[in-house]
Amino acid sequence: MKKYSKVCLGGTFDKMHLGHESLLRTAFSLSDEIIIGLTSDVRAKINRSGEYINPYSERFESLNDFVSSNFKGHYSIVELNDNWGPGVFDESLNAIIVSEETEKVATELNVNRKLKGLKELEIVVIPLVLAKDGRRISSTRIRNKEINIEGSKA
């Protein structure tokens, strides 16, 4: 039996890489029902001026293909137009899965849940996945051709 009945996580999921896989693997190891928030095109561009990010439809298809090929369990992919998505109102959620760099967002989500009279979510923090050079793997670094999706030199 899994630890939680329902968990959530979110991200832009552009250029799927080992960090994304780690986040998803943790979610599917802890629950059989996962809500994956996928950042909308408008939100994906915030604080990323000049960076090309694949359109939502392409990121959705890539994420859906990756999840369906690698994990067992019920999942849904929902569009994120804000920091919270369903996490702020879904009473059936038990936990949120985040990386070290997004833990603050999960803490803020819990403040908003509490204000709405909902139970706080357990925050499951996973460590960042590092590239071979010791720096974090990210879609930005992959787009810039610093590293490939496995974290090796591109």
Residue 146 has which token pair?
Answer: 């610093």
Q: Residue 74 maps to which CATH number?
A: 3.40.50.620
Nearest-Å Rg of the Cα atoms of the chain is: 15
Is residue 68 assigned to a domain? yes
Is residue 142 assigned to a domain? no
Q: Name the band, by pLDDT with cuts 50, 70 and 90, for residue 23.
A: very high
Better-scored residue on pLDDT, 84 or 33: 33
Domain span holding position 98: 7-128
Rounded Cα gap, residues 138 and 12, in angstroms: 11
Rounded Cα gap, residues 60 and 123, in angstroms: 25
Q: Name the band, by pLDDT with cuts 50, 70 and 90, for residue 51.
A: confident
Is residue 56 assigned to a domain? yes
Is residue 149 assigned to a domain? no
Is residue 101 assigned to a domain? yes
Contact 95, 7 (CB under 8 A): yes
Is residue 152 assigned to a domain? no
Is residue 134 assigned to a domain? no
Rounded Cα gap, residues 124 and 154, in angstroms: 31
Is residue 22 assigned to a domain? yes
Better-scored residue on pLDDT, 143 or 111: 111
> What is the domain count for the chain?
1
Look up residue 45 and give its DSSP letter: T
